[in-house]
């Protein structure tokens, strides 16, 4: 959202990805599948308005908006035109990515765990066949013209192999330190959700407790007449 984008961009975060994970982190859905274009336009536009630094703004394309090349070009262009974002992110689909890039739109690729189509969440690429599929998709996404590549929940050795093989930056989430960059859901990293603690998450703050304490203190001050005091009142 706007205030989060303002803080993160001022802190020097290189890329702000408005992910469809906002479905769970912000909107309370059970997964990303309920997120639609309207949601992504609203939140991406807010992030663009809050970009106080030089962060690159990337908008996630929600499920069923890039099923084919023609549909993808229309929807990607709609999001960029309505929000002012710099690029979009598409899960898998190298042929679609190629068409969108050819239309003049910058695309960030995504392979490994793909939440929009995954039957279950977990590490992808432990088995030899699965690892080769992820590797080949990474190469195909680079060839399609993606400017960067998210590697989600893949073993370290596979992420390292992909990073060494492609010339575009890799951005890991649950993919080890060998990637060129890292991404975390900001609400998870800041400790908004006590119940979500995957192995790859490092929590840098416990905002859940901090906000709870502030809300309780505010409530108590109102109930006891301690807020507002004379200095906080007009005369």
What pLDDT sits at residue 53? 86
* pLDDT at 234 > cutoff 90: yes
What pLDDT sits at residue 121? 87
What pLDDT sits at residue 148? 98
Task: Please state the rounded mean pLDDT for residues 58-65.
Answer: 97
Using one digit for the tens of pLDDT, what is the confidence trace for 85-137?
Answer: 999 999 999 999 999 999 999 999 999 999 999 888 899 999 999 999 999 99
Q: Check if 152 is active-site.
A: yes
| Catalytic residue chosen out of the listed positions 91, 93, 142, 152 | 152
Residue % of the chain over a pLDDT of 70: 100
Using one digit for the tens of pLDDT, what is the confidence trace for 9-50?
Answer: 999 999 999 999 999 999 999 999 999 999 999 999 999 999
Q: Which residue has the tokens 């999001």?
A: 79
Specify the pTM. Answer: 0.95
What pLDDT sits at residue 230? 96
């Amino acid at each position: 959202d706007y205030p989060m984008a303002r803080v993160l961009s001022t802190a020097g975060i290189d890329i702000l990805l408005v992910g469809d994970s906002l479905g769970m982190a912000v909107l309370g859905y059970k997964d990303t599948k309920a997120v639609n274009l309207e949601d992504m336009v609203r939140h991406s536009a807010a992030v663009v308005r809050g970009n106080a630094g030089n962060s690159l703004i990337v908008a996630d394309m929600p499920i069923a908006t890039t099923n084919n090349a023609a549909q993808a070009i229309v929807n990607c262009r709609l999001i960029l035109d309505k929000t002012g974002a710099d690029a979009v992110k598409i899960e898998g689909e190298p042929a679609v990515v190629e068409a969108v890039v050819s239309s003049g739109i910058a695309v960030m690729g995504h392979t490994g765990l793909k939440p929009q189509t995954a039957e279950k969440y977990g590490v992808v690429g432990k088995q030899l066949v699965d690892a080769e599929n992820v590797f080949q998709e990474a190469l195909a996404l680079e060839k399609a013209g993606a400017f960067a590549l998210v590697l989600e929940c893949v073993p370290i050795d596979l992420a390292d192999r992909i990073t060494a093989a492609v010339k575009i930056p890799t951005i890991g989430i649950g993919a080890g330190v060998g990637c060129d960059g890292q991404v975390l859901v900001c609400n998870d990293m800041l400790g908004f959700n006590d119940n979500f603690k995957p192995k790859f998450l490092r929590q840098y703050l416990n905002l859940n407790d901090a906000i709870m304490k502030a809300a309780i203190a505010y409530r108590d001050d109102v109930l006891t007449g301690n807020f507002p005091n004379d200095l906080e009142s007009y005369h």
